[in-house]
Amino acid sequence: MKQMSLFPILSFVVISFGVASVSAQICLNNGNFSSNSTFNANRRIILSFLPSNVTTQDGFYYNGSIGEGPNRVYARGMCIPGSTADDCSDCIKTASDGLVQSCPNQTEAYSWPGDPTLCLVSYSNTSFSGSVDSDGRVILTNTGDITSNITKFTEIWEDLVVRMLDIASAPKDTPSSSNNYYTANIIALNPFQDIFALMQCTPDLSSGDCDYCLRQSARDYQSCCGKKQGGVVMQQSCFFRWDLYAYSKAFDNIMVASPPPMTIRSIPPSAGAPANQNDNRPSNSHDRNRRGISTGIVVAITVPTVVIVFILFSLRFVLCPRRTSLQRTKYESDTDISTTNSLQYEFEAIEAATNKFSVSNKLGEGGYGEVYKGKLPNGTEVAVKRLSEMSGQDTRKFRNEVVLVSKLQHKNLVRLFGFCLQGDEKILIYEFVPNKSLDYYLFDPEKQGQLDWTRRYKIIGEIAQGILHLHQDSHPTIIYRDFKASNILLDADMNPKISDFGMATIFGMEETRGNSKWNAETLIYMSPEFAMHGKFSMKTDVYSFGILILEIISGKENSYLYQIDENTTAGNLVTYVWRLWTSGSQLELVDPAMRGNYKSNEVTRCIHIALLCIQENPEDRPMLSTIITMLTSNTTILPVPRLPGFFPQIRHN
Ligand SMILES: *[C@@H]1O[C@H](CO)[C@@H](O)[C@H](O)[C@H]1NC(C)=O
Ligand SMILES: *[C@@H]1O[C@H](CO)[C@@H](O)[C@H](O)[C@H]1NC(C)=O
Ligand SMILES: *[C@@H]1O[C@H](CO)[C@@H](O)[C@H](O)[C@H]1NC(C)=O
Ligand SMILES: *[C@@H]1O[C@H](CO)[C@@H](O)[C@H](O)[C@H]1NC(C)=O
Ligand SMILES: *[C@@H]1O[C@H](CO)[C@@H](O)[C@H](O)[C@H]1NC(C)=O
Ligand SMILES: *[C@@H]1O[C@H](CO)[C@@H](O)[C@H](O)[C@H]1NC(C)=O
Ligand SMILES: *[C@@H]1O[C@H](CO)[C@@H](O)[C@H](O)[C@H]1NC(C)=O
């Protein structure tokens, strides 16, 4: 554990985090005990009982003590309302273990771990007094800044916070007190981003003290960090967190509220605050600032990504922020508000661009909906994909995926310009690519001749570049999954551009294998492990790419039935190629439309690479980066391919 000495004076510490979830153990330096003391033994016992003691209480709040005299340890634990007993117990256990680990010899400490539920654990050598103790309050902030109109953001944020303060601190004898000093809320920041906020006080406080504690937290946060993309303020008696994504299960059943008209300009101090006291402490709060202030402050940091921003006045404690184990794949506050803003189009604008989706503008119908040609007011030609309705889609997720996909810009990827979400309409706006798709030329006897070997060879190399970009430069990695010749569009110079990538994630199809969208055409390109078990990885795309290479060379679809000998045994492209390869006659595969104008070493090398791509075992298939090296360097020695994997006989009509 790295220890850092900081200023001798502080009241709260501000820490910014670049990770999705943060929990901190705050060890107050009000006293020490030695590791073999009875106090320590008592601390371990009471903390180890805490998960079961808390979950057996109604309302999941427990306080108790163990031991006598100076060895008496008081401890308490609570979970937010709505937690399941299992989540609560896990959370309390995480917090208790964390405290024992991070606070080896401090007589007082607390922790508010936040995932997947929220709970509090604290212990002390003195009884919890039922008053606000502002020592050791900690502010954590997201490292990112709000980039949109900050005035508007602040208005919405303050409105939300002020309303939540009223609900959270409602006196216990009022109807809303069933909330138990707790409230969680979601408010729309703009059409594609929401603010998720949560407040909780410990139940021992009075209504006025709860209001004081939370208000102090919100004001502290705002005074230091109002422009950040998320923040947490932890105190011993209350908790406040807001963020741009749903960080807790608590939000699962909450409706998003639209922001009311704005009036409030800043968060007023607590109404119950005594006059003439600029820090507004409630009169019954005991002031520990008077005890134990002496030497330096020790702040122990265990996560190197955590940055201490600044520290204000008085008191000392040890702080150990830790990442919790919950993995988060994507994080909404990564989504820059202004980016999302610039990507959104009005439905009226799309209607105008496409001549009200007129039949003459229709380019075709894909697996996900109809595609129209459109022209934006600035003259840019676009392809507008009007997505067919799919029920149960999460629009927030949709927006996130669109933002993610729009960031992928590469000359061999069709660029996503933006989206439109209005009522039931979900529309994607793409760069317009004029020359139709690869299958249109490749499998048509009349047009095959337009693609000579030089062109085909170039197309193979550029498609590889496009897939590499998807695999390597998107975070998280985009796996194409239903890669096929009809998804390769050709621009005015016949350069390939991959279209429709990211659709699987936009539609949230991660789990679905038996999805009706998978038609026979798609299955032709599917690797065995994906087709049969629904497993996918980057190697699934490598398999599809291998099939595509063979199709480009032969000018035939994988499903095309080949006559193998006079006894007319039929096989698909893969079985046919394998047979040619093993007999050394692979050049027979070449599309007759090329009339023998090709470089046989290039063709042989491409077939060789394709066979490596379609190996049965995904681990035997090369990565895209390796494939590109193989394609560009004649000197690279290629491994000997083994019997490829292929999906048994698919009929395609
Ligand atoms: C805690 O222990 C350290 C060294 O063991 C000592 O310097 C310090 O004064 C102690 N603090 C308190 C509050 O007893
Ligand atoms: C708690 O510990 C502090 C610091 O060691 C000490 O001053 C105080 O008297 C203790 N309180 C009780 C009730 O033992
Ligand atoms: C408390 O722990 C710290 C670090 O673990 C150690 O340096 C210090 O000596 C300990 N103090 C006592 C009184 O055990
Ligand atoms: C353990 O406790 C005894 C007194 O009970 C004390 O003499 C000894 O120094 C302590 N050992 C440690 C390592 O703190
Ligand atoms: C707390 O848990 C322990 C162990 O499960 C049990 O012995 C004790 O009675 C519990 N205390 C209360 C107040 O439930
Ligand atoms: C538990 O909390 C209640 C209410 O705040 C208090 O009256 C009681 O003394 C506490 N029990 C212990 C053991 O601290
Ligand atoms: C920012 O938002 C405020 C309040 O909604 C509005 O009055 C102002 O015009 C906006 N500024 C910009 C640059 O959009």
Q: How far is the CA of 149 from the centre of ligand 7 (A)?
A: 6
> Is it the case that residue 65 has pLDDT exceeding 70?
yes
Task: Report residue 454's pLDDT band, with 50, 70 and 90 as the boundaries.
Answer: very high
| Rounded mean pLDDT, 145-158 | 87
Per the prediction, the chain carries an average pLDDT of 76
Q: How far is the CA of 93 from the centre of ligand 5 (A)?
A: 15
State the pLDDT at residue 464. 94
**Nearest-atom index, ligand 6, CA of 128:** 14
* Among 37-51, 215-229, 234-248, 419-433, the range of highest mean pLDDT: 37-51
Each residue of 1-21: b (16+ CB within 10 Å) or e?
eeeeeeeeebbbbbbbbebbb
CB 540 within 8 A of CB 618: yes
Does the C-beta of 104 come closer than 6 Å to ligand 3? yes
State the pLDDT at residue 325. 25
Which region among 4-13, 480-489, 599-608 has the lowest average model confidence (pLDDT)? Answer: 4-13
Query: What do you get for the CA distance between the two ends of the chain, in Å?
Result: 65
Q: How far is the CA of 54 from the centre of ligand 5 (A)?
A: 9
State the pLDDT at residue 175. 55
Q: How far is the CA of 78 from the centre of ligand 5 (A)?
A: 15
> Is it the case that residue 616 has pLDDT exceeding 90?
no
Per residue in 522-575, pLDDT tens?
555 666 666 666 677 888 889 999 999 999 999 988 766 555 444 444 567 888
Q: Where is pLDDT greater, at 496 or 9?
A: 496
State the pLDDT at residue 559. 67
d(CA 479, CA 483): 9
Does the C-beta of 106 come closer than 6 Å to ligand 2? no
Q: Tokens 């706006």 identify what position?
A: 429
* CATH superfamily name and code, 337-431: Phosphorylase Kinase; domain 1 (3.30.200.20)
> Is it the case that residue 494 has pLDDT exceeding 60?
yes
| Rounded mean pLDDT, 90-118 | 87
State the pLDDT at residue 458. 94
Percentage of the chain lying above the pLDDT 70 cut: 73
State the pLDDT at residue 244. 87
Which CATH number among 3.50.50.60, 1.10.510.10, 3.40.50.2000, 1.10.150.120 corresponds to the domain 438-632? 1.10.510.10
State the pLDDT at residue 263. 46
**Nearest-atom index, ligand 6, CA of 127:** 14
State the pLDDT at residue 89. 94
Which region among 17-31, 49-63, 625-639 has the lowest average model confidence (pLDDT)? Answer: 17-31
| Rounded mean pLDDT, 273-295 | 31
The secondary structure of residue 508, as a DSSP letter, is T
Per residue in 181-230, pLDDT tens?
999 999 988 877 889 999 999 988 988 899 999 998 998 888 888 888 88
Stated pTM of the model = 0.51
Say which ligand is closest to the CA of 65. 6
| Rounded mean pLDDT, 605-617 | 93
State the pLDDT at residue 303. 25
Q: Where is pLDDT greater, at 467 or 1?
A: 467
Pocket of ligand 1 (CB under 6 A): 29, 31-32, 292
State the pLDDT at residue 31. 86
State the pLDDT at residue 310. 27
State the pLDDT at residue 460. 95
Q: How far is the CA of 288 from the centre of ligand 6 (A)?
A: 20
Nearest alpha carbon, ligand 4 atom 7: 36
Per residue in 291-318, pLDDT tens?
222 222 222 222 222 223 222 222 233 4
Active site residues: 482
Cβ-based neighbours of 532, under 8 Å, separated by 6 or more: 647
**Nearest-atom index, ligand 5, CA of 53:** 1
Say which ligand is closest to the CA of 47. 5
State the pLDDT at residue 138. 82
Task: Report residue 471's pLDDT band, with 50, 70 and 90 as the boundaries.
Answer: confident
Say which ligand is closest to the CA of 64. 6
Cβ-based neighbours of 557, under 8 Å, separated by 6 or more: 439, 443, 485, 524, 551, 573, 652
d(CA 165, CA 200): 10
Task: Report residue 164's pLDDT band, with 50, 70 and 90 as the boundaries.
Answer: very high
Q: Where is pLDDT greater, at 14 or 488?
A: 488
Please indicate if the annotation marks 539 as binding a ligand.
no
- With 0-12 CB in 10 A as exposed, 13-18 as middle and 19+ as buried, what is 546? buried
> Is it the case that residue 142 has pLDDT exceeding 70?
yes
d(CA 369, CA 503): 11
Does the C-beta of 289 come closer than 6 Å to ligand 5? no
Q: Do domains 4-291 and 337-431 have the same CATH topology?
A: no
Q: Is the torsion defined by CA of 127, 129, 135, 139 positive or negative?
A: positive
CATH for 4-291? 3.30.430.20
d(CA 498, CA 29): 60
218: which 2 tokens? 């919100």
Q: Where are the domains of the chain?
A: 4-291, 293-321, 337-431, 438-632
State the pLDDT at residue 24. 73
> Is it the case that residue 382 has pLDDT exceeding 80?
yes
State the pLDDT at residue 317. 38
